[in-house]
């Protein structure tokens, strides 16, 4: 399968923030977020074709108990089912980072679902239409939430984005403790500016706040 990068770091976002984890980043995505922070897996997908054994050997080279399968969109990656099954056989805790537009019956301990809000839709005429059509798939989201331990993670650009979050959370019947708001931004200064008002929204609405710890620590770099 096509892997954009495979590295050992700490989880920078969500309920497992700070946990040492091996990241397997698949290449290829069915969406095209305008602010995508990994365009090398979506707008200009790149990577290396690796056999499952090569991926598993690389994972085993690190002392982590947690593995994060991310993308791109890992749920559309060929071999995602056998990959996650073999990671599970090794007793690893598996997080899948997905936009929640496609259901695939993977092995997973934490389904980290990040539905894309209207702020993600690009101006590009062709991709903009496909992105807008695909970005919210209520049946897929409901199935993922029913089958797996989950978190719902939203990327927030401005306070007005909350209207869409509230409406989606309500229609899905999600518990607010599972809902995580994260500022959009690829540098520490912008994350801090947006984090200041976003934490106030979390306090008043009962949502969780997540930093983007890897960006705070290392900036918008690959392999961290
Ligand atoms: S879903 Fe993720 S990988 Fe795909 S375009 Fe959006 S941010 Fe990029």
Residue-wise pLDDT tens digits, 50-99: 999 999 999 999 999 999 999 999 999 999 999 999 999 999 999 999 99
What does the alpha-carbon distance between residue 224 and residue 215 come to, in Å, rounded to a whole number?
9
Nearest C-alpha to atom 8 of ligand 1 is from which residue?
36
- Cα 33 to ligand 1 centroid, rounded to whole Å: 5
Q: What is the pLDDT of residues 16-59, one digit of tens each?
A: 999 999 999 999 999 999 999 999 999 999 999 999 999 999 99
Mutate to test the pocket of ligand 1, among 38, 121, 185, 186 (most ligand atoms within 8 A of CB): 38
pLDDT band at residue 186, thresholds of 50, 70 and 90? Answer: confident
Q: What band does 198 get if pLDDT is binned at 50, 70 and 90? A: very high
Question: Which residue owns the Cα nearest ligand 1 atom 6?
Answer: 33
The minimum-distance atom of ligand 1 relative to the CA of 29 is 4
Predicted confidence (pLDDT) per residue in 127-137, tens digit:
999 999 999 99
Q: Please, which residues have CB within 8 angstroms of residue 40's CB and are 6 or more apart in sequence?
A: 4, 27, 46, 47, 222
Q: Is residue 74 in contact with ligand 1, taking CB distance under 6 Å?
A: no
> What is the pLDDT, as a whole number, of residue 221?
87
Ramachandran angles phi, psi of 48, nearest 5°: -125, 135
Tell me which residue of 64, 72, 68 sits closest to 101, measured CA to CA: 72
Give the ligand 1 atom nearest the CA of 32.
Answer: 5
Residue 11 pLDDT greater than 90, yes or no: yes
The pLDDT value given to residue 71: 96
Higher pLDDT among residues 186 and 122, named by residue: 122
Confidence band of 223 (pLDDT split at 50, 70, 90): confident
Between CA 114 and CA 121, with CA 116 as vertex, the angle to 5 degrees is 155
């Amino acid at each position: 399968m096509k892997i954009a990068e495979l590295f050992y770091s700490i989880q920078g976002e969500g309920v497992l923030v700070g946990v040492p984890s091996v990241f397997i980043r698949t290449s290829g995505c069915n969406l095209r977020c305008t602010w995508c922070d990994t365009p090398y897996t979506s707008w200009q997908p790149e990577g290396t074709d690796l056999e499952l054994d090569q991926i598993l050997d690389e994972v085993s080279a690190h002392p982590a108990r947690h593995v994060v399968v991310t993308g791109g969109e890992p749920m559309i990656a060929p071999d995602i089912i056998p990959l996650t099954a073999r990671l599970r056989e090794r007793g690893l805790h598996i997080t899948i980072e997905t936009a929640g537009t496609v259901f695939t019956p993977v092995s997973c301990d934490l389904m980290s679902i990040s539905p894309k809000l209207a702020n993600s839709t690009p101006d590009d005429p062709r991709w903009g239409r496909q992105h807008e059509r695909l970005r919210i798939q209520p049946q897929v989201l409901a199935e993922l939430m029913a089958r797996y331990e989950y978190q719902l993670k939203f990327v927030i650009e401005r306070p007005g984005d909350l209207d869409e979050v509230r409406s989606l959370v309500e229609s899905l019947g999600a518990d607010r403790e599972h809902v995580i708001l994260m500022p959009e931004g690829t540098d520490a200064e912008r994350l801090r500016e947006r984090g200041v008002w976003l934490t106030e929204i979390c306090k008043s609405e009962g949502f969780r706040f997540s930093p983007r710890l890897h960006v705070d620590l290392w900036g918008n770099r690959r392999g961290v």
